Amino acid sequence: MTSTTTRTTRGRVAIAVLLIVAVVSVFVVRLVDIQVVQAEGLNAASLASRSDSTVTLGTRGDIVDANGVVLATSILRYAIEADPSAVDEFERPAADGSGEVTITADQAIAELATAMGLDPAAITAILTADPSSRYALISKSVDVATYNAIRALDIPWLYYKADQSRSYPDGSVAGNLVGFVGEDGTALAGTELTQDTCLAGSDGSEITETGEDGVAIPGSTVTVTDAVDGGDVQLTINSDLQYFAQEALAQRVTEVGAESGTVVVTEAKTGKILTAAEYPTVDPNNIDATDPAYRGAKVFSDPFEPGSTFKSITAASLIDAGAATPDSQVLAPYEYTSGDAVIHDSFYHAPMRWTLTGVIEQSSNTGISMLSNNMSVDQRWDYMNRFHLGQKTEVGFVGEDSGDILPGDVSGPTQLDDQTIYNTTFGQGLTVTAVQMASAYQAIANNGVRMPVQLFEGCRHADGTVTDAPAASTGEQVISPQAAQDTVHMMESVATTGYAADAIKIPGYRVSAKTGTAEMSDGSGAYGGAYLTSMAGMAPSDDPQYVVSVTIRKPVTITSGLAAAPVFQKVLSQVLKTYRVQPSTVPAPELPTTY
């Protein structure tokens, strides 16, 4: 009896102990499983359920002009989204604070339509397209005022998403240079694209743990990646001057029935582009309004045959090489034949006893062709290269063209036909861009020293450091100071006694200029009877400070340099006024034009 009882008790105790051990080990296994094996996944899941991940926007940088005037900036726009499945009536506190009023779905839609300036039917159509859907886009981008008005409606089935957008406060002023971005924010043209690496910011992200009501739990914010703001790009452009040039050019282009035109203003001593206007110019706020052909910067991308404005470069080369002086004499006929080449002047005249100055003043094709015989084609080709013609400028603008001078390599130009040899002395048979032409004139204006063309001052980062600023340069001596000054003085005769003299006179200042009327190629190698009229020059002639170059394409009512002359005169006057240039004090030297 006693021994049986003892055994039974022992058995019970053993079973109980075993059971306890079994249960405890189940818990231990489960504990280890949760705390160790699955720990990572469970932690992540729990964090995800109570945390909120937000994207912090990295702002794209501004584009500003030389004086800091904002030409492009980033702004926030709001996408208005709806949950069509939740569209129903809702309660809203009454305006007078007495309880709540019920707003029906139709009422809400009507209010929304008023706030957005849309037709209620259009919004209803969006919401009823798929009533079971949880997402419908009402508007991709509304401005702050509209957004605030919509938010004030307190409609529970609306959602908002902030997004970056670009705004161009000055519209089409420098629109060609500033460029634009696409709807998704990718840079598409102009400085926006050329300087994209500087301008672009990068978005960051943050994780915050929030309570049930969406309020962040203090100290729980974890920054996963920092948002980085883009840098600001400063241009050398003066936006007021650019506006003036665009307006003056546009008026003249429409007045003479032309197709398009350009104005480039550079600072003679530094090579900085102060204005690069063109008409038509894109308004980056409204790209669709502009013909796709005119959405870029033609001053950089569209080479043309310059015509007679090129004679100054040929004359400068001749003088520098010692092949001519301003007094070199030539008996210029109306028609000059050499080999297979036949050269005509633009107007009929008996053989004239002109000096090189006279040839420039009268813009004689035969005269400059005959004087160019004193210089080899190789030498002329060499000078074109020294003026950086046929090469892209230092700006590196997107879509920039190099222009096309005589084909050749380091050893010299390839063999050319006689006609082209002579045509290239007066700017036909080769192409340059508007900026290249202004740059060549800058070298002549700056005592023969060509400064690198500059459009960008650099990239200013958020911390104030400036990078990508062009290296300081002392320039390149392209021609001798004497040759440059002689050329400037010869061109002065165009402004004092040439056919366009009255149109480009600026009281108090000595002006040097050269007219041009180039025949335009019809695209198939022949000249098509259309003209590109131009005017390029500098002032004041005693110490040139600014270079202005104007081209007007395919004018109808006036087809000589007179089409471009008023624009040249207005822009140059404005430049001299803007930069407070002292009037000339030394009278112009009177170089003989005939002998």
Partner 1 sequence: MTNLATVPIERLGAPAPAGEPRRRWLSPAPDRVARPRQRPRIVYAAVAIGGIAVIALAQLLLSIGLSDGAYQISSLQSQQKDLARTNQALTEQLTAFSSPQNLVQNAQALGMVSNGNTVYLRLSDGAVLGSPTPASAANAPIAANQALVPNSLLQPEQVVAAPVPDASSAPQAAAPDPTVPWQGALPSPQTH
Kindly state whether residue 381 participates in binding partner 1, applying the rule CB under 8 A: no
Token output for 47? 């964090």
Kindly state whether residue 171 participates in binding partner 1, applying the rule CB under 8 A: yes
Whole-number Å distance between alpha carbons of 235 and 453: 12
Considering the complex, state which of residue 278 and residue 302 has its C-beta at the smaller distance from partner 1: 278
Considering the complex, state which of residue 209 and residue 327 has its C-beta at the smaller distance from partner 1: 209
Smallest distance from partner 1 to CB 250, Å = 4
Whole-number Å distance between alpha carbons of 10 and 42: 43
Whole-number Å distance between alpha carbons of 307 and 426: 6
Considering the complex, state which of residue 16 and residue 222 has its C-beta at the smaller distance from partner 1: 222
Run of H or E including 225: strand 222-225
Whole-number Å distance between alpha carbons of 294 and 306: 20
Considering the complex, state which of residue 77 and residue 380 has its C-beta at the smaller distance from partner 1: 77
Q: For partner 1, which residue of 56, 124, 270, 285 counts as binding (CB under 8 A)? A: 285
**Window 263 to 282, contacts with partner 1 (CB under 8 A):** 279, 281
Kindly state whether residue 143 participates in binding partner 1, applying the rule CB under 8 A: yes
Q: For partner 1, which residue of 117, 507, 523, 525 counts as binding (CB under 8 A)? A: 507
Draw the binding track, 288-317, toward partner 1 (x: CB under 8 A; -: no contact): -x----------------------------
Question: Amino acid identity, residue 172?
Answer: S
Token output for 118? 């849309």
**Window 420 to 459, contacts with partner 1 (CB under 8 A):** none
Considering the complex, state which of residue 71 and residue 547 has its C-beta at the smaller distance from partner 1: 71
Token output for 545? 């400070």
Whole-number Å distance between alpha carbons of 564 and 515: 8
In the three-class reduction of DSSP (H, G, I as helix; E, B as strand; rest coil), residue 169 is classed as coil
Q: For partner 1, which residue of 58, 80, 109, 170 counts as binding (CB under 8 A)? A: 170
Kindly state whether residue 24 participates in binding partner 1, applying the rule CB under 8 A: no
Q: For partner 1, which residue of 42, 217, 222, 556 counts as binding (CB under 8 A)? A: 217
Whole-number Å distance between alpha carbons of 590 and 496: 10
Smallest distance from partner 1 to CB 570, Å = 5
Q: Pick from 348, 347, 350, 368: which is nearest to 359 by CA?
A: 368
Smallest distance from partner 1 to CB 489, Å = 21
**Window 34 to 63, contacts with partner 1 (CB under 8 A):** none
Kindly state whether residue 168 participates in binding partner 1, applying the rule CB under 8 A: yes
Considering the complex, state which of residue 109 and residue 158 has its C-beta at the smaller distance from partner 1: 158
Whole-number Å distance between alpha carbons of 543 and 585: 11
In the three-class reduction of DSSP (H, G, I as helix; E, B as strand; rest coil), residue 239 is classed as helix
Kindly state whether residue 216 participates in binding partner 1, applying the rule CB under 8 A: yes
- With both helix axes pointing from N to C terminus, report the angle between 481-497 and 434-445 in degrees, rounded to the nearest 10: 110
Kindly state whether residue 573 participates in binding partner 1, applying the rule CB under 8 A: yes
Kindly state whether residue 67 participates in binding partner 1, applying the rule CB under 8 A: no
Using CB atoms within 10 A of its CB, is residue 379 exposed (0-12), middle (13-18) or buried (19+)?
Answer: middle
Whole-number Å distance between alpha carbons of 60 and 50: 32
Whole-number Å distance between alpha carbons of 160 and 473: 51
Rg (CA), the chain: 37
By residue count, the chain amounts to: 595
Kindly state whether residue 107 participates in binding partner 1, applying the rule CB under 8 A: no
- Judge whether 282 and 175 are in contact, CB under 8 Å: yes
Token output for 532? 């590109």
Kindly state whether residue 246 participates in binding partner 1, applying the rule CB under 8 A: yes
Q: For partner 1, which residue of 254, 374, 482, 497 counts as binding (CB under 8 A)? A: 254
Using CB atoms within 10 A of its CB, is residue 82 exposed (0-12), middle (13-18) or buried (19+)?
Answer: buried
Draw the binding track, 460-499, toward partner 1 (x: CB under 8 A; -: no contact): ----------------------------------------
Kindly state whether residue 70 participates in binding partner 1, applying the rule CB under 8 A: yes
Torsion of CA 399, 405, 408, 413, to 10 degrees: -170
Q: How many chain residues interact with partner 1 (CB under 8 A)?
A: 46
- Give the range of 82-90, 414-422, 501-509, 519-527 binding partner 1 by CB under 8 A: 501-509
Kindly state whether residue 586 participates in binding partner 1, applying the rule CB under 8 A: no
Draw the binding track, 517-546, toward partner 1 (x: CB under 8 A; -: no contact): ------------------------------
Whole-number Å distance between alpha carbons of 50 and 207: 10
Whole-number Å distance between alpha carbons of 586 and 307: 31
Torsion sign, CA atoms 239, 240, 243, 248 = negative
Considering the complex, state which of residue 1 and residue 145 has its C-beta at the smaller distance from partner 1: 145
Kindly state whether residue 164 participates in binding partner 1, applying the rule CB under 8 A: no
Smallest distance from partner 1 to CB 136, Å = 24
Residue ranges binding partner 1 (CB under 8 A): 70, 73, 75-76, 143-145, 147-148, 167-173, 215-218, 239-240, 243-244, 246-248, 250-251, 254, 279, 281, 283, 285-286, 289, 506-508, 570, 573-574, 576-577, 583, 585
